[in-house]
Amino acid sequence: MDEIVLKLAVIGAAGIAAQWFAWRLQLPAIVLLLVAGFIAGPATGFLDPAADFGSIYRPMVSIAVAIILFEGGLTLNFKEIRETSTAVRRIIMYAGPLTWGMAAVAAHYIGGLSWSTATVLGAILVVTGPTVIMPLLRQAQLDARPASLLRWEAIVNDPIGALFAVVAFEVILVFIGVHEADNVVMLVAFGFGLAIASGWAAAKLIVWSFGNGNVPEFLKAPVLLATVVAVYAANNMVLEEAGLLTVTVMGIVMANSRIASLTDMRRFKETITTLLVSGVFIILTASLSLDDIRSLDWQAALFVASLLLVIRPVAIMLATIRSGATVQERLLSAWIAPRGVVAVAVSGLFGALLADIGVEDAGRMVAFTFAVVVTTIVLHGFTLGPLASFLGLKKASKPGILIVGGSRWSTALAIKLHKAEVPVMLADQNWNHLAEARLANIPVYFGEVLSESAHHSIDPKRFSNLIATSDNDAYNALVSTDFGPELGRSHVFQIGRTDEKARQALNFTLGGRSLTEEPVSFLELRDKLLKGWTFQLTRLTDEFGWDAYEASRPEGALILLWIKPSGAIVFATASSSSPGPNDRILSFALPKDEARVEAASKTTRKAEVTPASQATADEGKKLP
């Protein structure tokens, strides 16, 4: 028992460590997870999942895959697919079957597999795993259209590929005389229909229950998780792997329903999915044996090459003719098709089933699938970004700032950032508040940034930082709290945060960081702007360093941020270090000449205080 606990702990620690290093080094996380699994399994023998976990090994992986697919379905909103719906539909309806047929032929004639194994393998390789696509899209920063195309195909094709494998396996059983053809057709049709209907019904039941307050907030995520597992298991009892289609449909229906707490549930599911993807990849990679790896020969290499260089490109280019997708988007989709958890899990399941009915080379199917998974993950993981840049399908990589709240002060800030070539957008619900920004050619968003429409119009990942600058502290805190999980709490700022000890202060868990060292209110910033304060951008040099810059600043100057030569933005209140040479510092202060005049004026007013008036003032202090 203690040994199993230790292995589970190692799986969890290795998975999260791989995710962290991938984030830190800007590498595809799946690649590091594969390396971790290989070290834990075939390389050292520390993990042998089938032996370590026994009969619960495959059910555990299957449930994890179901949850991953459901979470993927939650990200599919029909509003995001309007421009690419035809291309997605054709890829699913035409490219999938084309890939199945061509991959089966290639597996038999090139890979040397029997027709039984080749047919099932071709069906399995229809899938393009969301467990791989989603992390890659997160890092690649694609435009909305190609990202939507790849994401929808990956999530919808996963259960369809699994059902293709079911159909292939049932056909094989018909050919060897185990099942009758009529029964197979009826079973598949019934299972397919039941999967869609039960997924839709389960989603509608959840929406109704949550919307009418029949489930308390603290139970919503657990109820949802339990329902996903229940409907998956129930449909699998009717038709093997039909549950994958059920949970995908359930996720899509919920994603397109109006549920107030959907965002919170989606974040919970994202956390669970990150843990599951990390653990499942390590477990599945560790399940490979050295004999499986040695079974991969030149035939397997030629098969993988034909799948990547011929079969996938031909299927996509044919399926997307006159689909509305550009040539660049079609080329990107023709190359990017990494396989992941579902392909490996389903191949393991059907490999065992084929072996049970006497198919001799069934074990090679798992090795072939892993070869495709590893090759596509490595090649597509490292080429997605460069290829997208070459095709012009990648967003500008320079980090930007989203400013919420239109005013003279925030508009002046946006104009200064725009002149400094920092991507910036100003958002406000009042069209008049955006007038000056529009005249200055600053990108604006007219509407409520917390609305669903804004979620689809403003890509949070395009703007790596947010500044809430409205005249309402509570609204600033609400916006910062909402965007915090997307951007990171250390990248969300607001003006006017009061002292945490003040009676009117918001809870420290709400809102963002203060934009300035000492909180300055909206009215104070407005008054300073009216008195002539301006935004000033100063570049440091080896001769004019940080200390000299500080000494040159007028009294009361507000240092907001600095821009690194790489384009990275560092906010003063979020940094523990000082800016260095070639950094450009953005401050808000009086121009130097006006600062001198104001300082002289203060000195003059102080000197004009007569002894008599000073005595009167002192007497006034003594009065109750």
Considering 360, 391, 422, which residue would you say is the last residue of a domain? 391
Mean pLDDT of 512-520: 87
Q: How confident is the model at residue 253 (pLDDT cuts 50, 70, 90)?
A: confident
Q: Is the pLDDT at 510 greater than 80, yes or no? A: no
The model's pTM is 0.66
**Weakest mean pLDDT among 60-74, 166-180, 196-210:** 166-180
Total count of domains within the chain: 3
* Full DSSP string of 115-160: HHHHHHHHHHTT---HHHHHHHHHHH-B-HHHHHHHHHHHHHHHHH
Using a pLDDT cut of 90, give the percent of the chain over it: 22
540 plus 610 within the same structural domain: no
Residue with more model confidence, 234 or 128:
234
515 plus 446 within the same structural domain: yes
Local structure of 47: helix, strand or coil:
coil
Q: Is the pLDDT at 501 greater than 70, yes or no? A: no
583 located within any domain: yes
As a whole number of angstroms, the distance between CA 321 and CA 314 comes to 11
566 plus 600 within the same structural domain: no
N-to-C CA span, the chain: 76
586 located within any domain: yes
256 located within any domain: yes
State residue 153's pLDDT score: 84
Distance from CA of residue 92 to its chain's centroid? 23
State residue 426's pLDDT score: 93
Considering 364, 391, 418, which residue would you say is the last residue of a domain? 391
State residue 261's pLDDT score: 63
Residue whose entry in the numeric block shows the structure tokens 């099942």: 179
As a whole number of angstroms, the distance between CA 487 and CA 479 comes to 12
521 plus 607 within the same structural domain: no
448 plus 573 within the same structural domain: yes
**214, 209, 484, 271 alpha-carbon torsion, rounded to 10°:** 110
Per residue in 310-350, pLDDT (tens digit) is 999 999 999 999 888 889 999 999 999 888 777 877 787 78
Say if CB 247 and CB 228 are below 8 A apart.
yes
As a whole number of angstroms, the distance between CA 290 and CA 288 comes to 7
As a whole number of angstroms, the distance between CA 96 and CA 240 comes to 20
460 plus 505 within the same structural domain: yes
Q: Is the pLDDT at 126 greater than 80, yes or no? A: yes
111 located within any domain: yes
280 located within any domain: yes
353 located within any domain: yes
Residue with more model confidence, 262 or 276:
276
State residue 599's pLDDT score: 54
451 plus 385 within the same structural domain: no
Q: How confident is the model at residue 263 (pLDDT cuts 50, 70, 90)?
A: low
Q: H-helix or E-strand containing 362?
A: helix 362-391
Residue with more model confidence, 106 or 266:
106
As a whole number of angstroms, the distance between CA 166 and CA 245 comes to 12
Q: What are phi and psi of 444, to 5 degrees?
A: -130, 155
Mean pLDDT of 545-562: 89
Considering 391, 425, 446, which residue would you say is the last residue of a domain? 391
Q: What are phi and psi of 346, to 5 degrees?
A: -70, -40
Domain that holds residue 116: 2-391
525 located within any domain: yes
Q: How confident is the model at residue 621 (pLDDT cuts 50, 70, 90)?
A: very low
- What is the sign, positive or negative, of the torsion defined by CA atoms of 200, 201, 207, 211? positive
Distance from CA of residue 608 to its chain's centroid? 63
Say if CB 101 and CB 118 are below 8 A apart.
no
Mean pLDDT of 391-413: 85
Per residue in 408-439, pLDDT (tens digit) is 999 999 999 999 988 899 999 898 999 999 99
* Best mean pLDDT range from 4-13, 162-171, 178-187: 4-13
DSSP code of residue 394: B
Q: How confident is the model at residue 102 (pLDDT cuts 50, 70, 90)?
A: very high
560 plus 603 within the same structural domain: no
As a whole number of angstroms, the distance between CA 68 and CA 228 comes to 10
Mean pLDDT of 37-58: 85
396 located within any domain: no
Find the CATH number of the domain harbouring 363. 1.20.1530.20
3-state helix, strand, coil in the chain (%, to 5): 65, 5, 25
311 plus 431 within the same structural domain: no
Q: How far is CA 150 from CA 136, 356, 542, in A?
A: 10, 36, 47
Q: 91-129 as b/e, with b when 16 or more CB fall inside 10 Å?
A: bbebbbbbbbebbbbbbbebbbbbebbbbbbbbbbbbbb
581 plus 600 within the same structural domain: no
Q: What is the mean pLDDT of the chain?
A: 81
Residue 598's nearest CA partner among 537, 556, 559, 566 is: 556
350 plus 411 within the same structural domain: no
Q: How confident is the model at residue 505 (pLDDT cuts 50, 70, 90)?
A: very low
Find the CATH number of the domain harbouring 538. 3.40.50.720
Mean pLDDT of 391-405: 80
221 plus 288 within the same structural domain: yes
